[in-house]
Structure 1
Amino acid sequence: MGPTNPPPPPPPSATKIRRTTSAGGGSGSIILDKYHLGRLLGRGSFAKVYLARLLENSDSDVAIKVIDKAATVDAAMEPRIIREVSAMRRLHQHPNILKLHEVMATKSKIYLVMELAQGGELFAKLNRCRRFSEATARKYFQQVVSALRFCHQNGVFHRDIKPQNLLLDQNGLLKITDFGLSALSDQKRDGLIYTACGTPAYTAPEVVYRKGYDGEKADAWSCGVLLYVFLVGSLPFDDSNLSNMYRAMHRRSFEFPDWVSKSAKIVIYRLMDPNPNTRLSLEELIKLSWFKKSFSQENLSSQGEQKLGSEILKQSEFKYLPRVNAFDLISMSSGLNLSGLFEAELNSKEMRFTCDMGVVEIEKKVAKVGAGLGYRVEIGKGGGIRLVKGRVVLLLEIWEVAIQLWLVELKLVDGVMEFGDLQWEELKSGLADIVLSWHKEVSC
């Protein structure tokens, strides 16, 4: 038998990370003999973003995010990038989404070559203006909603919409970035998402509820917060105590200043509905007269070659691109992962957990467990339960933080010297069957 020809090389893959032996990574470095890094544009916990120029074309400026693998806490970061880039191949191009042109890597660094948004963060512009006029707020809001609907139609849920993740190009066109915390439709179970992440002040209250949530409705809530911030210049919910903040969200405890129009108030109020089943969806939002007002090409882009205007809502004008060039997938410093909020932690004064049982059932369970451990159960005049054993006094407090979700706290109010880790463990063991998640208090 004669020698066989070697198999042809595999076709290039848009999801494979291109490698380089260059040791570059700071201003003045040459990356892959292709890009020259210029001045530092910004930095986060695990990444720096530089202005860069294509060596073959001195007029082609880009932004390159340099991620230091040694500084990341996730040792599996590179496989995560590959998975996310592969998933994003399903996406089309949208003018309001920052493009990712190329991904490269060395043994120590990952480089993301992105479209350069020369106008900087919308957050910086908002800080300078303090708040936007209603016409300006609506112009930016229309672009955000258009891009998010496009994402949802392609199975991507951003989950971290906020002014810091919105950029402006040289023509003032808005660009959504930082998809590092996004979820894909492939991650759904029974049509829902179960991972909790985002920036707390912008995150829908049901996201902390570990029984799943609708990614589109969660993004709609964030849009409501975003519009409020655009028009008012401050957050509707802003509390370092996350438990208090989520209670305020559930009760919609926020106020509008006089300058916000009635129509805008209605839009915000309907988007920030704590019940996702009755919350205004983005599909319903685009039909409202307030949203459609002044929805023109001039509001969306000053680039004449882009045929947008009201047709952008149809999302049918964008052609499929075989290359991955849609998203800044990796944002190492964006947002706050809320998963840590519900890790078990027993301290010397209190114990917290979430539960989906009713208040009466929770009180009965705590009383039963307490009595079984030798505590005397006392009912206060205004309601509420105390567990008493000798000098030890434990107070039970229950708060509703979302629909059918309760935050339960057992607080040690007396007998610190007589009550230690063993006693906490006994209570924890007895209550385990009603606990959704143990709560760890975190300030943000």
Structure 2
Amino acid sequence: MEPGVPPPPHPPSPTSAGILFGKYQLGRLLGRGSFGKVYQARSLVDNSAVAVKIIDKAKTISADMEPRIVREIDAMRRLQNHPNVLKIFEVMATKKKIYLVMELATGGELYGKISGRRKLREGAARRYLQQLVSALSFCHQNGVAHRDVKPQNLLLDEYGNLKVSDFGLAALPEQLRNGLLQTACGTPAYTAPEVFSRRGYGYDGSKADAWSCGVILYVLLTGLHPFDDSNLVTMYKKIHNRDYHFPDCISKPARYLIFQLLDPNPDTRMSIEKLMKTRWFRKSLRSHHPENSLFHSYSSSEKWCKPDIVTVPNAFDIISLSSGLNLSGLFEATNRKGKRFTTNDVSGEVVLEKVKEVGEKLGFRAEKGKGWNIGLGKGKVVLIVDLMEIAENLLLGEVKVVDGGAEFDEVHWDNLRDGLQGVVLAWHNDAV
């Protein structure tokens, strides 16, 4: 460069002055999604309002997270043509960030309508279920199973119409093995029991989504979770034993549908297709939306009502706030650092023997305790591994760092997880 000649100006950054790639004006922060922050934005082309999810590659792109982001984008692109599925308009990227431009749902989460134990009148609950089921049926017809259907992932537009979102745990057709899915994932309070207990046999993603619909219908009508318990072990037992009751506020037809959907046996559980043909579901089914939604929007005249019983925060509240399979806080309060896992098709003795083998390879001294319990010691670090049976062929394990938590970092956790791959079905404190 010649002396006295100024250097060429640097090209503007993708978000100079709050303008994203010269196309969108970023606005206020709406919240944090599965993979990044979500902002309200305005299109500089047609002045329309959109939502922009900004994903920081350095913080979230990993062996676990990258496939989830790809799945979310792929699933949303396949499902663009349904009015009750959140639309994705554009995907842009730089070396450091990914930008997903999506439909803006100004009505917030469906969870906001039922938080604080509020319940809906049957007509309002039916309309939300109609829109949800229509969207899920469309997903299944296009080979996509959502696998994380819960009120936090169901958004509302300005007319009160439901929009299914967050496809980060969705299963695409290429993930099927002999027509079935294998990965354990989802939020436990809304996830079908076979997702965690049928290791090696696989499960039908559409039947798993049908189970979630049953839980959501119960929650919408009562403001409570059907298998309410702060102890995860007890909650799993209730699920497998069909141990729940119907408050008087639920009509007999609605009870019948919930009972059929919350069948622990997926082979006899009511399917989405059969649900759509029932008289209760089809009642008041009509088109009444300015943008041709399949179902009419929520009416402001529909009143909310409080449930008769108000209780202290329960498992529904706790699990609802958890992300993916993060179950921290579900058991009795403890100051110990730890992680939990599920395993099946192997005995407790086999699991403990594997724990001992892996621990010794990592330099720990193993000492078996009473029952399904084993201790691992190395220097200042002491671990306790407990196992308990929560259903037939399904064990829940908990690894607790009793001492030396500062020395037992993520590298040690990674080594332990890798070593136990042969017996562990899923780790419940890690995002899937």
**Would the TM-score normalized by the shorter structure come out above 0.5?**
yes
Larger gyration radius, structure 1 or structure 2: 1
Aligned 8 A contact 1:122 1:164 in 2: yes
Number of the residue aligned with 1:101: 89
For residues 7-52 of structure 1, give each alpha carbon's deviation from its aligned partner in whole angstroms, at most 9, with x where no partner exists: xxxxxxxxxxxxx963429xx6110011000111112464111110
- Range moving further from structure 2, 69-78 or 28-37: 69-78
Number of the residue aligned with 1:200: 188
Aligned 8 A contact 1:21 1:106 in 2: no
Alignment CA distance shift 1:400-1:258 (3 Å): farther
From 381, 385, 394, the counterpart of 2:370 = 394
Number of the residue aligned with 2:292: 306
| C-alpha distance in structure 2 between counterparts of 1:233 and 1:103, whole Å | 37
**The residue matched to 1:218 in structure 2 has which SS?**
helix
Alignment CA distance shift 1:266-1:24 (3 Å): same
Number of the residue aligned with 2:263: 273
From 47, 59, 64, the counterpart of 1:71 = 59
Residue 286 in structure 1 maps to residue 276 in structure 2: yes
Residue identity matched to 1:171: Y
Residue 406 in structure 1 maps to residue 394 in structure 2: yes
Number of the residue aligned with 1:426: none
Give the percent of matched residue pairs that are identical in Structure 1 and Structure 2: 54
**The residue matched to 1:156 in structure 2 has which SS?**
coil
| C-alpha distance in structure 2 between counterparts of 1:243 and 1:30, whole Å | 50
Query: Across the two proteins, how many residue pairs are aligned to each other?
Result: 344
TM-score normalised by length of structure 2 = 0.69
Aligned 8 A contact 1:394 1:410 in 2: no
| C-alpha distance in structure 2 between counterparts of 1:440 and 1:307, whole Å | 39
Alignment CA distance shift 1:242-1:121 (3 Å): same
Number of the residue aligned with 2:222: 232
From 142, 146, 166, the counterpart of 2:134 = 146
Number of the residue aligned with 1:40: 29
| C-alpha distance in structure 2 between counterparts of 1:410 and 1:55, whole Å | 52
**The residue matched to 1:22 in structure 2 has which SS?**
coil
| C-alpha distance in structure 1 between counterparts of 2:256 and 2:212, whole Å | 15
Q: Greater relative contact order: 1 or 2 (C-alpha under 8 angstroms, separation 6 or more)?
A: 1
| C-alpha distance in structure 2 between counterparts of 1:185 and 1:443, whole Å | 24
**The residue matched to 2:106 in structure 1 has which SS?**
coil
Number of the residue aligned with 2:109: 121
Residue 155 in structure 1 maps to residue 143 in structure 2: yes
1:253 CA displacement: 1.6
**The residue matched to 1:249 in structure 2 has which SS?**
helix
**The residue matched to 1:256 in structure 2 has which SS?**
coil
From 6, 11, 15, the counterpart of 1:24 = 15
Aligned 8 A contact 1:231 1:260 in 2: yes
Aligned 8 A contact 2:196 2:425 in 1: no
1:437 CA displacement: 2.6
TM-score normalised by length of structure 1 = 0.67
Alignment CA distance shift 1:24-1:236 (3 Å): same
From 171, 181, 185, the counterpart of 2:169 = 181
Residue identity matched to 1:57: D
Aligned 8 A contact 1:197 1:339 in 2: no
RMSD: 4.0
- Structure 2 gaps, min length 5: 1-10, 297-320, 329-335, 354-366, 374-386, 400-418
Residue identity matched to 2:181: I
| C-alpha distance in structure 1 between counterparts of 2:212 and 2:71, whole Å | 26
Aligned 8 A contact 1:123 1:164 in 2: yes
